[in-house]
Chain A
């Protein structure tokens, strides 16, 4: 009886157009848009990542000039150099068009008007240059063929100060959008869970009434339905993660199998959430679908799907909410996996998701297992 129910619940679930649209096509399209949008942001970031500086050459310094030319060329240029007279350079500094002015007046001197990472980089560069000036000059005179190499090492040393990674993982700000996209797919499973609940209640659907009249115990029918929905949802989440990881080439770190596991656990939680929502009250199917979608989208909103900083705001104002927000739990599990070398936080997030899924299923069963209705 169970397998008979399971088979048809799965078949009918796979044929629901909404499932294909919302759980497969929509995330693929949205993921594609994210990729396109963030790629253009990356390009702009790269374009403007060269730090604008002004150079005032009171005294001509050929070697420094060559160094500056080389260090401000190409896609990974460290500086965007403007040669200007002192007055003009000071004006540019005042207008914040440049972060600093380097004066070549026998030696090198630096003028900055503010403190910040860019100013630190310029300062570090100047200090390094002064320290290595003799080497550079010697190389220029005695081994000009190796000058490029020396200058490159100077640039690299300075760039190292620009970004000191705390982790081996991908700390990219935009990756959280993809985490939340997968969380959204997992929570959209609430729609399939919702229908399991409705289609087994005699007072909510004719199908439920017919099932209630059959000799199949409701618990078996519910379990088979839930199992079918879980499988369906797992298929969808695997497709989504695979698409994001392998087609969009989003870097989830080097523990991808665990990403799939968290996605699957998140999916079970999503279906269970819908099952619980569907069991409450006597609202119409459409109204309950609205509630389930709203809960899912709100959960994703507070997790940062629409506004990247939202999760940080929630963490500051109501940190407890991130610990129970289903979407935040899913995206945090991915984040922990990517950032931390140990598994403590990752396991904690997954256990919380399992506990929530169990609670939702218990609520659903308690409300759905009613055997007689006061009204139909």
Chain B
């Protein structure tokens, strides 16, 4: 397994704004590498610099061990790109669109025909071959966008937020497809601000904020980086301040708060935390309703590192 992508000290400025701040990444062959961050964190800029679409002020980009330039056609042949915006011809139908983009990479007509058919099946567009893009639903359009990007069977596939504005059914179909591509040997770079998708898909994740990589590792490694290992939530009508203080005195509990008839207790490691918490409530004669515990999410990781939520509230 070799290094497929190597980015070192990448700096990209838009006048005063630093879009990428000395970013370094290494992506190994066979990985599904996630770039996670809020809108404006620099994910798409990273992808555009990686593809040599954007000029950058400093740093180096290597793909398959070679420096990436706009005329690195031998490297480009092995890359499939699925942009955030759907990039297809409105006047061509599904089959023609896939054939067009596949033809930019594959000269052999017979081979191309086979690849286009496989791509149509992969994206589940068999019934829509003759449909033009404007006749497709949002989800189908995204699937066409993906089919156009992967028809030539690239070794490296870059997906830049491919599920934005996609219904849950199509989203699942897309995520399953990406996993299948990875199983077939493709290295995947996946950018998103949907942490659930990244958690589900990616074998390794880099979290970005304001053009910087703030954390990198597997999802377990990332979660181990933070204090929070478990969050206990209990439905209660009222909790006095003294009880909150008593709860915070329990070993491994580092924060207890009460709002909207919910008592939230954040724990850092340890066992039997729930039993100890419930003991305190019983001792204080506080009756409670439902009790549930949650393991930390990538949002917790982001929240703890940056002090802000990963996703916008409307997301």
> Could you tell me which A residues sit within 8 Å of B by CB distance?
1, 4-5, 8, 11-13, 15-16, 202, 205-207, 209-217, 371-376
Contact = CB atoms under 8 A, between A and B. Distances in A.
Given A12-B91, A15-B91, A206-B86, A372 B54 contact: yes
Nearest to B81: A213
Contacts of A375: 14, 54
A374 B51 CA distance: 13
Contact of A207 (B74, B77, B87, B99): B87
Interface in B4-47: 14
13 contacts: A8-B96, A16-B91, A206-B85, A207-B89, A210-B148, A212-B51, A213-B51, A213-B53, A214-B101, A371-B71, A372-B55, A372-B70, A375-B54
A207 B100 CA distance: 12
Interface of B: 14, 48, 51-55, 69-71, 73-74, 76-77, 79, 81, 83, 85-89, 91-92, 96, 99-101, 103-105, 107, 148-149
Contacts, number: 83
A321 B70 CA distance: 41
A209 B148 CA distance: 13
Nearest to B79: A213
Among A13, A205, A207, chain B packs the most CB atoms within 10 A around the CB of A207
A210 B81 contact: yes
Given A8-B103, A371-B69, 16 more contacts: A4-B103, A8-B96, A8-B100, A11-B92, A12-B91, A16-B91, A207-B89, A209-B87, A210-B148, A213-B51, A213-B53, A215-B74, A215-B76, A217-B71, A375-B14, A376-B48
Nearest to B48: A376
A217 B149 CA distance: 18
B298 to A, nearest CB: 27
B104 A216 contact: yes
Nearest to B49: A372
**Interface of chain B: mostly helix, strand, loop or mixed:** loop
Given A12-B91, A373-B54, A215 B73 contact: yes
Given A1-B107, A210-B101, A215-B105, A372 B53 contact: yes
B290 to A, nearest CB: 47
B104 A1 contact: yes
B53 A206 contact: no
A212 B52 CA distance: 9
Given A215-B73, A215-B76, A375-B54, A210 B87 contact: yes
A206 B83 contact: yes
Contacts of A207: 87-89
A215 B77 contact: yes
Contacts of B96: 8, 11
B53 A11 contact: no
Contacts of B53: 202, 209, 212-213, 372-373, 376
Given A12-B91, A206-B83, A374 B55 contact: yes
Given A11-B91, A371-B70, A210 B52 contact: no
B87 to A, nearest CB: 4
Contacts of B99: 8
Contacts of A16: 91
Given A1-B104, A210-B87, A372-B53, A12 B92 contact: yes
Contacts of A206: 83, 85-87
A370 to B, nearest CB: 9
B66 to A, nearest CB: 14
A8 B54 contact: no
B191 to A, nearest CB: 14
B100 A212 contact: no
Nearest to A17: B91
A207 B148 CA distance: 11
What 8 pairs across the A-B complex have the smallest Cβ distances? A371-B70, A206-B87, A15-B91, A206-B85, A12-B91, A214-B104, A215-B73, A210-B87
Contacts of B105: 214-215
Contacts of A8: 89, 92, 96, 99-100, 103
A205 B92 CA distance: 17
A217 B73 contact: yes
Contacts of B81: 210, 213
